[in-house]
Structure 1
Amino acid sequence: IYSILATEDLKGYLLVEAPNRGAVEDLIRKTFKVKGIVPGESTIEELDHLLSPHKIIDSIDKGNIVELISGPFKGERARVMRVDKHKEEITLELIDAAVPIPVTVGVEQVKIISKSS
């Protein structure tokens, strides 16, 4: 096995670089919770969008629903009120809070639950 790639864009799938299918079959026999193989080959051009970094801030818009994944409000859901692309911070309003208090956090502390329409 030369390399294994797991990305958020392909949840539930691993891309495996190997000299032949037999090497991949040996790997999955020894790996827990692997269900099978989707056979095929990919070119580096097809995988380029998975390998190149993209800024999270570009995918967050005002009105999106996010979940805080770190910090004192971990696990809370919130609505995006403002996006500061220069500082890479967003201002949120907690959904389940009794009093709406604006909270400003870094974009690395949230995960998008749903996009605003």
Structure 2
Amino acid sequence: MILTARTTRGREKTAVNALKSKVKNKDLDIKAVFHPEDLKGYIFIEGSESDIRDLSSEVRAINGIIDEEVGVDEIEKYLSDEQEEIKIEEGDEVEVIGGAFKGEEAKITRVDETNREVTIELLDAAVPIPTTVDADMVRKKANQG
């Protein structure tokens, strides 16, 4: 059975990682947990209904389970192996759109396409400290090509 869990927007990856680590430590019937990049605020969990409900109640980023089973055909479009290419390059100026630095402007110093992460330096910081964030947490500023 596949169920949909509501999460805090922008915390989908945190919820997935928390679920995965809890599954490793317990003997639960959870087969898969995933978050489609273009579906904000939701993740999908495959397994037994009771284990899904028990486990998700232990994860702070999960706000509840939707009481309707999801068919594989409904989520098939999200199961593509291809991830959208990151269109951000080193040197680009970006706006941070999520996480602790939301609303700040930053410069990209490194792009890690494998892990979909970027290293940024905040432009307004007195001392620029490199910080690595999820690539989905930054948006290229509009005035750039």
Larger radius of gyration: 1
